[in-house]
Amino acid sequence: MAALRISFAGGNVGQPFSKWLSFVSPSIRKAMANTAAWAANEIETRGRRDISAAGNFGARWAGGLHANIKTGFFGGIQINVTHDIPYFLIYQNGGIIRGAPLLWIAASWATDAKGLNSPAQYAGRLVQSKSANSGVPILLNPDTKEVKFIGVSSVQLPKKFHIVEIVKEVSNEVAVRYNQEYNAS
């Protein structure tokens, strides 16, 4: 599971805040709980929409994003944003993935190799060769002579998701939402 923790810089405010919470009225606690539930729902909804709009990321990717509310001993509230897929953060931040020694990328025309995590999952036989034109390592089906995978030393993955930005947007809206919740109670 990939986890993303959002923290605010500054001194330790946890204990004084928790002590203060033990004295607050039920209407304040209710407004806080409702605001947290709204924020968690907004993060999930907007985040899943962002993941779906990022390209070839299916339901497993969108549905893997979670914003869970954790309530502390004295009533403190925390929202934990996590993802079921461990390598989620490479698409959140972008970055380089290096092979050991090579990464095998399915060829764009090899429909039977698309979506496989490695050549070992390919149903047919594969043999390694080098492209006659460029000398790039390739894996091909010896029966059809069709290239199925191309070997590269590394790939640069661009940032695709904007979950941190979404969390910041929602956090900027929390004060207004809290006031609405408090005034409604």
- pLDDT greater at residue 72 or residue 19: 72
pLDDT at 38 over 80: yes
Cα radius of gyration (the chain) = 24
Q: Left, alpha or beta for 59 (phi > 0: left; psi -120 to 50: alpha)? A: alpha
Distance separating alpha carbons of residues 142 and 114, to the nearest angstrom: 18
Per-residue pLDDT at 106 exceeds 50: yes
> Token pair for residue 103?
């990464």
Q: Which residues contact 68 (CB under 8 A, 6 or more apart)?
A: 40, 79, 80, 82
pLDDT, tens digit, for every residue of 150-174? 999 999 999 999 999 999 999 999 9
Residue 123 tokens read as 């149903």
Residue 8 has pLDDT above 50, yes or no: no
Q: In the prediction, which pLDDT does 114 show?
A: 87
What pTM was computed for the model? 0.75
Q: Where are the domains of the chain?
A: 2-92+158-184, 95-157
Report the candidate in 92, 102, 110, 101 with the shortest Cα–Cα distance to residue 146: 110
The one-letter amino acid at 16: P
Distance between terminal CA atoms of the chain?
37
How far apart, in Å, are the Cα atoms of 178 and each of 4, 53, 77, 110? Answer: 24, 29, 13, 53
Cβ–Cβ under 8 Å, residues 7 and 78: no
Please tell me which residue, 8 or 156, carries the higher pLDDT value. 156
pLDDT digits 0-9 by tens, 53-89: 999 899 999 999 999 998 876 667 889 999 999 999 9
Q: What is the mean pLDDT of the chain?
A: 87
Alpha helix stretches (DSSP H) within 6-160: 14-21, 26-53, 59-63, 88-93
